[in-house]
Structure 1
């Protein structure tokens, strides 16, 4: 290209294909960039909302379950108080006087207070007696032959189970019925065939 063409304001010939030499519409370029930035902002907002919800859930779980280890240890102390009260015959409790009566009342008060405080912090007993055996909540210790209740029903609770929120702190140790009908109503059916 000569200097003469450049002086006249003509575009130099660079031997490029015609599609590349055509200018991109600046409005379309800005609209595309705007759409890309809008998409990025929306994705960032969604990620932040998910993070906020996840953090709230984690904080809630931490509040609910932080005392789980301590509560599990307190259950041992509560069990000891319950066992101490169980070894005292009812006749002795009824006729106790003086220091023995005060001791029995003190043990009962301490057990009730520990149960109340555990409940205050979300530790609740697991209902087991008469329920269908649930391996997530119950630990079977033995089977009890009992044709009067459906098989798999909890008929005896050896040790109370406890849960905190939806989590099991300690499963209930139970005796489970064996030999009853699954539906509870086919006692006269011959099953030897």
Structure 2
């Protein structure tokens, strides 16, 4: 489970959240903070020092970000050990696969669209992780996407809940976990539901 400071969060809020998560929920929970283009290197270093593990870039809804500014910020964040979680239609990332492959990234919500699925698979082959989340907001067949991504890179998928599922057509349901187990089988489903994320967020 990966809580993050919501869009518009301040660095202080992110640091407080990281401390609160550690205190209240324990070391198995980590924070991914909303990316903020105003953060300088000192602020990025402070976030990393506070225990924040990564930054989430909302290219889908936040006009502050373009792919170019996201890449620049993600490169600077990477120097402080922060990965980049990218919420966007993966189809738009096609011209940037080579640049993204040099970064430690997570693609949110299976890459969102059917048109983006080949790009998501390319990024997974290059080492990206892919969140198996948001089945109620994607514009693709989740089962087919899970199968395709797992075939491209068996160690890419990481499950999540997408709660509170804001703006999704439907919220997370237990059936989403059942779908992962049905499509991927017991061994790979265990990796997707726990092992891959546990290794990634603690690396």
Normalising by the residue count of structure 2, what TM-score does the alignment of the two structures yield?
A: 0.19
In our comparison, the structure showing a higher alpha carbon Rg is 1
Structure with the larger strand share: 1
- Higher RCO (CA-CA < 8 Å; seq separation 6+): 1
